[in-house]
């Protein structure tokens, strides 16, 4: 927009006057061009064969007329320069008016540092992650979390249905129910006798104690995970609440800015109408000459 302001000032021409002067200048240089286009640098006479008398047909330019050619070219150049300036000034005014109409509320908000709050449901919104939550814990809390994860995983690998202790317990129960195994093969029949190497009651006691310990660890781990879930939910609620509050303030401010923009555009339109197309000093002589011709 600033590049077009160079054409305008308090003193000068309206677009209507500028267009009128440009038209006068065009008529003026057309008249001079017509003279140059008709420039003839020789005399022409005709005669009937044998008559011996010549009749003038046309006369070429005189020395004074020839010497005037540079001034005529310079005048055409000045007139066209004036026209170019005035036409560009008229064009600039139209561009300023068009820019003013295109100037949107969004641009007006940006220029005033007003930004729409980021909605928690939008792609730009970044909720708190589990990593961020656990990263906010103290050394003691984070270590406790990692230890509980490790204890649960380690104990679970032994006592779950496919765990090593669980499988050993199952095999012991099979042996207790069938302590003797006979593989018949005639005289080479083999009898295998099996018995518990430890008190089965101790095995059961150990298994259930480890199960209870696993539940204890799992409950503690679940408690930490629950705190994480609550923290994420509270973060989301807080951000949603902050967004609602910010959007309410934004909406109120947006309505104010709409009214401000409308008023500003009206003021700018009036100011634009008052702008005059200035005449550069170098074009003032030819401008004054054109104005004289128009009277």
Indicate whether 174 and 217 sit together in one domain: yes
At 211, is the pLDDT very low, low, confident or very high (cuts 50, 70, 90)?
very high
Neighbouring CB atoms inside 10 A of 177's CB total 7
Indicate whether 207 and 267 sit together in one domain: no
Number of domains in the chain: 2
In a domain, 106, yes or no: yes
At 104, is the pLDDT very low, low, confident or very high (cuts 50, 70, 90)?
confident
Contact present, 148 and 217 (Cβ < 8 Å)? yes
Indicate whether 274 and 186 sit together in one domain: no
Mean per-residue pLDDT of the chain: 87
Q: What is the mean pLDDT of residues 201-212?
A: 92
Burial class from Cβ neighbours inside 10 Å (0-12, 13-18, 19+) for residue 93 reads buried
At 146, is the pLDDT very low, low, confident or very high (cuts 50, 70, 90)?
very high
Indicate whether 242 and 201 sit together in one domain: yes
Q: What is the mean pLDDT of residues 272-295?
A: 87
Q: Distance between CA 244 and CA 153 in Å, rounded? A: 43
State which H helix or E strand residue 46 sits in.
Answer: strand 44-46
Q: Distance between CA 241 and CA 238 in Å, rounded? A: 5
Cβ neighbours of residue 10 under 8 Å, at least 6 residues apart? 274, 276
- pTM above 0.85? no
Indicate whether 156 and 221 sit together in one domain: yes
Indicate whether 287 and 187 sit together in one domain: no
Q: Which two tokens stand for residue 226?
A: 């629950």
Question: Which pLDDT does position 153 carry in this prediction?
Answer: 93
Q: What is the mean pLDDT of residues 261-279?
A: 88
In a domain, 122, yes or no: no
Q: In 3-state terms, what secondary structure has residue 138?
A: coil
Q: Distance between CA 215 and CA 202 in Å, rounded? A: 20
Question: Which pLDDT does position 56 carry in this prediction?
Answer: 84
Secondary-structure percent of the chain, ordered helix, strand, coil, rounded to 5? 70, 5, 25
In a domain, 137, yes or no: yes
Indicate whether 195 and 234 sit together in one domain: yes
Indicate whether 88 and 28 sit together in one domain: yes
Indicate whether 228 and 276 sit together in one domain: no
Read off the pLDDT of residues 54-92 as tens digits, 9 standing for 90 and up: 888 888 888 898 898 999 899 999 999 999 999 999 999
In a domain, 229, yes or no: yes
At 122, is the pLDDT very low, low, confident or very high (cuts 50, 70, 90)?
low
Q: Distance between CA 88 and CA 84 in Å, rounded? A: 6
Pairing of β 44-46 and β 55-58:
antiparallel
In a domain, 236, yes or no: yes
In a domain, 253, yes or no: no
Question: Which pLDDT does position 117 carry in this prediction?
Answer: 64
Read off the pLDDT of residues 219-261 as tens digits, 9 standing for 90 and up: 999 999 999 999 999 988 888 888 888 788 778 877 888 898 8
In a domain, 124, yes or no: no
Indicate whether 109 and 6 sit together in one domain: yes
Region of poorest pLDDT, from 38-52, 64-78, 118-132, 180-194:
118-132
Indicate whether 167 and 241 sit together in one domain: yes
At 124, is the pLDDT very low, low, confident or very high (cuts 50, 70, 90)?
low
In a domain, 226, yes or no: yes
Domain range for 201 is: 130-247
Indicate whether 289 and 268 sit together in one domain: yes
């Amino acid at each position: 927009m600033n590049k077009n302001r160079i054409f305008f000032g308090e003193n000068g021409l309206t677009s209507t006057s500028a267009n009128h002067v440009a038209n006068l200048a065009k008529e003026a240089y057309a008249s001079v061009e017509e003279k140059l286009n008709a420039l003839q640098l020789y005399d022409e006479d005709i005669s009937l064969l044998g008559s011996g008398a010549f009749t003038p047909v046309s006369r070429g330019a005189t020395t004074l007329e020839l010497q005037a050619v540079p001034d005529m070219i310079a005048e055409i150049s000045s007139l066209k320069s004036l026209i170019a300036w005035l036409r560009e000034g008229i064009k600039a005014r139209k561009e300023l008016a068009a820019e003013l109409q295109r100037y949107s509320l969004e641009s007006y908000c940006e220029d005033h540092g007003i930004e729409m709050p980021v909605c928690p449901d939008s792609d730009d919104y970044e909720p708190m992650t589990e990593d961020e939550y656990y990263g906010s814990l103290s050394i003691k809390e984070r270590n406790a979390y990692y230890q509980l994860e490790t204890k649960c995983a380690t104990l679970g690998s032994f006592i779950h249905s496919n765990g090593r202790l669980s499988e050993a317990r199952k095999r012991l129960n099979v042996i207790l129910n069938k302590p003797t195994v006979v593989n018949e093969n005639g005289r080479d029949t083999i009898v295998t006798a099996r018995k518990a190497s430890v008190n089965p009651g101790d095995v059961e006691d150990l298994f259930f104690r480890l199960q209870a310990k696993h539940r204890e660890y799992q409950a503690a781990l679940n408690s930490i995970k629950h705190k994480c879930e609550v923290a994420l939910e509270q973060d989301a609620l807080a951000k949603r609440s902050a967004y609602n509050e910010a959007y309410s303030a934004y909406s109120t401010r947006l309505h104010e800015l709409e009214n401000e923009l409308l008023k500003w555009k009206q003021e700018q339109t009036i100011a634009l109408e008052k702008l005059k197309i200035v005449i550069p000093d170098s074009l003032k002589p030819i401008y004054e000459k054109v104005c004289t011709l128009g009277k």
